[in-house]
Every structure is written in structure tokens, then in C-alpha cells.
Amino acid sequence: MKYILTLLLTASLATVTLPTATAQQAPSPYKTRFAVDAPISVGLGAVSGLGLYLSSRKDGLSDAQLSALNRNDIPKFDRFSAGYYSKSALTAGDFIVYPSLLIAPGLLALNTNVRGRYGQVLGLYLQTLAAQNAIFTMTIGTTTRYRPFLYGTEGGGSRNSHISTNSFYAGHTANTAVATFFAAKVYHDFNPGSAAEPLVWTAAALVPAAQAYTRIKAGKHFLSDNIVGYVIGAATGIVVPQLHKTADRTGLSLAPVQGININGYGYSGLAITKLL
């Protein structure tokens, strides 16, 4: 899945720059600009690529190392799932995360206000996925935590794979959360005060929670891995659209800055300003 998200980044560069206003469209709460979004998206793609490379360079465990694993070395709050393994839970989790990545943004197209701006929203969604993907790949590329199923006897050849050291953090849970919370956030921004909001936010919270449950039962991630993945995914799904809110709605704006300081050194970055 992380490879697919990286490839989708290319599409986001095109869609974030679609026209944002016509006479027939409702006003968009977001502002997207090629000068800002293209460099950010390219940067996220580069970070994702680096994370994938670092992850591929990790070593799996030998049979001797596997036999030496001790569940008592696991923090007590995570220890209950050591040795879990379930193929049916793996399958159930896949049937949650992959459809969610399509269904969550797809449902937004059913809303009249969003539909007129769907090109912009889709580009923003892909950029949000790319942001979460960058965080995730760099995390698994630079940290090592053994998956719960390694403390049991099941898992076959995957027990020696380098991906068996990628327990921290739960990518399936994070990607499900980023999709559902992004959809809820966008619905809220286009339809403030809607009576459907409690239902929308409840669904956004419950779907990744169900995903987290399957990843624990499957022996892929500990409880703490899923909590971190849930929080990062939900936060990314909310924060990235919020950073694109137009200044007249939030008083905040985001713009690139560059120049030369008094010491003669060049600098560049992003400036966040707030109207007072």
C-alpha cells in the first residue's frame, strides 16, 4: 500500500492546481496554489522514498534470534497480544483499509457543495495521504520493533522477513484514520453546522478503531502501535486540510518565503500568518 500511495503523489500535483472557482461552484473553504503545493508534494514524495529505502535495508531475524525473543521484554500494557496470529483477521483488516481509502473520499462527491470542488478536494486528499505516508515510511525505516506474532510459532516464512520488524507504528490503522478523518473534516468545512456531522465524525472514529482491532488480532501490531497510528492518521487527516483553509475563513494563510539574512546566508521555508 505504501508504494501505491507514493505513486499517487504524482496525480496530486495535477489535481491540486485545478481551477478553484466558477460561477456555478459554491465557495471553497480551501486555497491551493501550485507554487506552494507542488514543492510540498515533491518533498513528501522524496521523504517517502527515503523511508522505503531505509526500511528495505533492515535485516530480518534469524531463527536463533526468533527463539531468543522473550515476551517479558514487552511492556505490560502490550504483552497480552504477544503471539497472536490470525489470517482471517489479516483479511478482514485488508477489507477495511483498502476500500476505506476509496470510499471515504468517494462519499464526499455525493455532497453538492463538495462535488463542485471535487478536483481540488481530491488533490488535497492525495497530498494528505502522502504526508501520512512520509511520516510512516520514515518511522518504520528508522525504528525496529518486532511484530507480536514473532513471539508465537506461526507466520511461516514471513517470520524472517525484514518487514517483521516494522511493528511501530500501525500503517493500516493510520491510513484508515487519515482517510476517514479527512472526509469528516472536509464535510465539516463545506457544511458547517450540518445536522449530519455527529454521524459523520462517529463513523470517522469507529472505522479506524475496527481496523486497529484486526491488526491486533492478526498479530501485526501491539496496542500502542495502533494508538500511535490512529492518532497520527487522524491528526494528519485534519491538520493538512486546515492548513489549506483560506484566510478569510480562518485568519490563517500559508505562503513560501525565501531571501538572504544579514549574514549573507540564503533561507527558504513556509510562513504562516494570521489576520488580527
CA distances from 127 to 59, 210, 254 (A): 31, 25, 15
Which residue has better confidence, 273 or 154?
A: 154
Which among 80-89, 245-254, 265-274 has the top mean pLDDT?
80-89
Q: Above pLDDT 70, what percent of the chain? A: 80
Query: How, if at all, do strands 266-274 and 252-260 pair?
Result: antiparallel
Average pLDDT, the chain: 85
Sign of the CA dihedral running 139, 88, 77, 165: negative
* pTM metric for this prediction: 0.81
pLDDT tens profile 221-256: 999 999 999 999 999 999 999 999 975 555 555 444
For 220, the grid coordinates are 501485526
Average pLDDT over residues 11-35: 59
What pLDDT is stored for residue 35 in this prediction? 82
**Local structure of 252: helix, strand or coil:** strand
What pLDDT is stored for residue 156 in this prediction? 87
Cell 525496529 belongs to: 144
Q: For the chain, first and last CA: distance in Å?
A: 43
For 28, the grid coordinates are 471553497
Of 222, 51, 228, give the one whose Cα is nearest residue 142.
51
Alpha helices in the chain (DSSP H): 2-15, 34-56, 63-67, 76-79, 87-108, 112-115, 118-142, 171-190, 197-217, 223-243, 247-250
* Residue 201 pLDDT greater than 70, yes or no: yes
What pLDDT is stored for residue 181 in this prediction? 98
Q: Which residue ranges form the domains of the chain, and what is each CATH number?
A: 2-60+77-245 (1.20.144), 247-276 (no CATH)
Query: Under 8 Å CB-to-CB from 17, ≥6 apart: which residues?
Result: 32, 33, 34, 37, 38, 123
What pLDDT is stored for residue 41 in this prediction? 82
